[in-house]
């Protein structure tokens, strides 16, 4: 194979957000767009010390490549393989059918000590020719590239003039890798003319590394016993995302679940037209299947994951577990119920700033280190890698541990199953099963309850959203919170635009969300999403802490309604954006 160079003009806006570059498929389909972005990464990496592409690297780079199976996935894989071959990458491992869930990529990079990985996903955003595509680079620790990487990527996208691509020397225009089939695991070698060595493409089983990692973390024997109980059943909904085949492998093949415990487990390029986003709105069908009022056979446990498999939603019978509570319950039970965390392995936890403070209470009681980071999984990497924290979570349905450097939907689901299994060992007869709701309510009785809701206003006018945020900053500068304090009945003790200083490398992340924190722990937070592809998405997060036993079982929407109203008032959200209601409430 040879290498051909094409001239190119930089594209505007190839700047990564909370989690990689996310744009409409149509944007990615512009001639040269994908090439320009990926080539910018390959130009940038040699400039980044420790990237494995730099001078100090001992070996030639090896990458893993795969995606959530959305529209444009396979085409993008073909192009990226040609760019990789032309940019000194020695070998690329590709998931079978081009599929790899985000946590599996992280696991593969770590288990096989690779240089990095490229994940093709727009996560929970819809897919299809008119919807979204995305691309993300993960570094050798298995985590999303931090800003010290993505800043250099972006600089390159501003000044790129050419890209390099592998060509078949005999038939210059043909895809030299046309013979590579993604249908089954196989190794392909291609001699490269330039450096007299081979470029290797290895199609790998998408699940093996990841599933065997999970088997080392959890007690699959105990889980199998849970699955055999006549008083237990579950429903897992993959929302037509990438976790379908993984769910089948883990729940059916390994743990013995019947096939009808799985829903929407066939990956589709457009996710069946829905949002592959596990929340009360976009996974409403699963929610009603798990509600005994709507389904007489509602299972004991329900769970869903998002398009790329890093998010999770946990349900009981007619009961929704908020992600902030889920994190707290997992942390409170991990050392008993999950073999990986036994023997004092759990010493610290972290949550993103907008995540409700439920885990803080567990950390305080159990004497664990506690960290509060900006939104986005990349901020947890340093804490996980230096042993400061082992379990982390975000209110956006993301939870995971230091077994990898991404959030992990199936891991969180297996945590819950493990807790249920552990708590119900020896529990007979039928009817005495301790379910999800009972577990969570017991937790509230011990730690208090952090009522929480998030309002999303998707695809707002970007200028209007920006103006609203500036308005809130001005309000903070004036420093008169009396109207707020009057409604809430509590003084404001912190009002700022959240700044985070990484305790490991000292890097500083500013402007991470406007927050008002009250003396009783109530909070009002506003931030703009960094993952949308059109306009601006405003997120409003509301929290209230309650320890009064007579109030902890109250309705969340009612409990939070005063705070919600005053937050909307103060922000003048409706005046700025014209929106009278949010797109999604979780």
**Would you tell me which residues interact with ligand VG1 (CB under 6 A)?**
18-19, 123-124, 306, 310-311, 352, 375-377, 394, 396, 398, 529-531, 539
- Pick the binder of Co ion from 96, 123, 333, 424 (CB under 5 A): 123
Residue 90: contacted member of ligand VG1, Co ion, none (CB under 5 to 8 Å, by partner type)? none
Q: Is 507 a catalytic residue?
A: no
Strand stretches in 374-439, DSSP E:
391-394, 398-401
Shortest spacing between CB 277 and ligand VG1, in angstroms: 8
Query: Judged by CB under 5 A, does residue 308 bind Co ion?
Result: yes
- Pick the binder of Co ion from 141, 237, 277, 310 (CB under 5 A): 310
Residue 19: contacted member of ligand VG1, Co ion, none (CB under 5 to 8 Å, by partner type)? ligand VG1
Q: Where are the alpha helices (DSSP H) in 87-178?
A: 102-111, 147-159
Of the two residues 311 and 351, which places its CB atom closer to Co ion in the complex?
Answer: 311
For the window 252-291, what string marks contact with Co ion as x by the rule CB under 5 A? ----------------------------------------
Does 186 sit behind a cis peptide bond, omega within 30 degrees of 0 on the bond before it?
A: no
Shortest spacing between CB 309 and Co ion, in angstroms: 7
Buried b (16+ CB within 10 A) or exposed e, 14-42: bebbbbbbbbbbebbeeebbbbbbbbbbb
Categorise residue 513: left if φ over 0, alpha if ψ from -120 to 50, beta otherwise: left
Residue 378: contacted member of ligand VG1, Co ion, none (CB under 5 to 8 Å, by partner type)? none
What are 23's strand-pairing partners? 133
Burial of 554 (0-12, 13-18, 19+ CB in 10 A): middle
- Pick the binder of Co ion from 209, 306, 360, 395 (CB under 5 A): 306
Residue 375: contacted member of Co ion, ligand VG1, none (CB under 5 to 8 Å, by partner type)? ligand VG1
Q: Are 498 and 515 contacting, i.e. CB atoms less than 8 angstroms apart?
A: yes
Give the sheet arrangement for strand 301-305, strand by strand: 262-263, 234-237, 301-305, 312-316, 319-321
Burial of 261 (0-12, 13-18, 19+ CB in 10 A): buried
Q: How many helices (H) and strands (E) does the chain have?
A: 18, 26
Task: Name the DSSP class of 252.
Answer: I
Shortest spacing between CB 39 and ligand VG1, in angstroms: 24
Of the two residues 237 and 310, which places its CB atom closer to Co ion in the complex?
Answer: 310
Residue 68: contacted member of Co ion, ligand VG1, none (CB under 5 to 8 Å, by partner type)? none
Shortest spacing between CB 308 and ligand VG1, in angstroms: 6
In degrees, rounded to 5, the angle at the alpha carbon of residue 39 between the alpha carbons of residues 33 and 42 is 155
Catalytic annotation, pick one of 19, 40, 106, 123: 123
Residue 529: contacted member of ligand VG1, Co ion, none (CB under 5 to 8 Å, by partner type)? ligand VG1
Of the two residues 166 and 538, which places its CB atom closer to ligand VG1 in the complex?
Answer: 538
Shortest spacing between CB 536 and Co ion, in angstroms: 20
- Sign of torsion over alpha carbons 104, 107, 108, 109: positive
Chain positions contacting Co ion, by CB under 5 A: 123, 306, 308, 310-311
Residues marked as catalytic: 123
């Amino acid at each position: 194979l040879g290498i051909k160079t094409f001239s190119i003009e930089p594209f505007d806006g190839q700047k990564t957000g909370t989690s990689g570059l996310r744009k409409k498929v149509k944007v990615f389909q512009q001639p040269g767009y994908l090439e320009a972005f990926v080539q910018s990464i390959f130009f940038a990496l040699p400039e980044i010390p420790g990237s494995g592409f730099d001078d100090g690297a001992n070996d030639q780079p090896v990458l893993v490549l795969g995606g959530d199976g959305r529209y444009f996935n396979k085409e993008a894989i073909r192009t990226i393989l040609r760019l990789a071959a032309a940019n000194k990458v020695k070998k690329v491992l590709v998931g079978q059918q081009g599929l790899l869930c985000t946590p599996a990529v992280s696991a593969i990079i770590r288990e096989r000590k690779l240089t990095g990985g490229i994940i093709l996903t727009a996560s929970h955003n819809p897919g299809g020719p008119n919807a979204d595509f995305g691309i993300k680079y993960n570094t050798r620790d298995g985590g999303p590239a931090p800003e010290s990487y993505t800043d250099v990527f972006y600089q390159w996208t501003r000044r790129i003039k050419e890209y390099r691509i592998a060509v078949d020397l005999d038939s210059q225009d043909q895809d030299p890798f046309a013979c590579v089939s993604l249908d089954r695991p196989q190794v392909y070698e291609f001699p490269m003319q330039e450096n007299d060595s081979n470029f290797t493409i290895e199609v790998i089983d998408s699940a093996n590394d990841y599933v065997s990692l999970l088997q080392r973390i959890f007690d699959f024997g105990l889980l199998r016993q849970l699955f055999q109980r006549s008083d237990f059943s579950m429903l897992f909904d993959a929302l037509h995302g990438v976790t379908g085949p993984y769910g089948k492998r883990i729940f059916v093949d390994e743990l013995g679940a019947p096939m009808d415990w799985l829903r929407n487990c066939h990956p589709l390029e457009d996710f069946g037209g829905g949002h592959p986003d596990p929340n009360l709105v976009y996974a409403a069908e699963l929610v009603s299947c798990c509600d005994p009022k709507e389904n007489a056979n509602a299972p004991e446990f329900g769970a869903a994951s998002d398009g790329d498999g890093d998010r999770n939603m946990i349900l009981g019978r007619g009961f929704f577990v908020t992600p902030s509570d889920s994190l707290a319950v997992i942390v409170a039970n991990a050392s008993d119920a999950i073999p990986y965390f036994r023997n004092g392995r759990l010493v610290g936890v972290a949550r993103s700033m907008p995540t409700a403070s439920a885990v803080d209470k567990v950390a305080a009681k159990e004497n664990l280190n506690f960290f509060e980071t900006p939104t986005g999984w990349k901020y947890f990497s340093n804490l996980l890698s230096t042993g400061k924290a082992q379990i982390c979570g975000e209110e956006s349905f993301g939870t995971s541990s230091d077994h990898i450097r991404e959030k992990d939907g199936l891991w969180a689901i297996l945590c819950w199953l493990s807790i249920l299994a552990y708590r119900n060992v020896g529990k007979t007869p039928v009817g005495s099963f301790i379910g999800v709701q009972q577990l969570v309510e017991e937790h509230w009785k011990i730690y208090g309850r952090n009522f929480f809701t998030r309002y999303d206003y998707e695809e707002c006018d970007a200028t209007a959203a920006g103006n609203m945020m500036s308005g809130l900053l001005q309000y903070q500068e004036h420093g008169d919170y009396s109207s707020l304090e009057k409604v809430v009945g509590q003084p404001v003790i912190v009002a700022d635009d959240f700044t985070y200083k990484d305790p490991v490398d000292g890097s500083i992340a500013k402007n991470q969300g406007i927050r008002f924190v009250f003396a009783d722990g109530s909070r009002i937070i506003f931030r703009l999403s960094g993952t949308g592809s059109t306009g601006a998405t405003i997120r409003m997060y509301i929290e209230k802490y309650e320890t009064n036993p007579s109030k902890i079982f109250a309705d969340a929407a009612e409990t939070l309604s005063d705070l919600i109203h005053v937050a909307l008032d103060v922000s003048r959200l409706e005046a700025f954006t014209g929106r009278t209601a949010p797109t999604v409430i979780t």
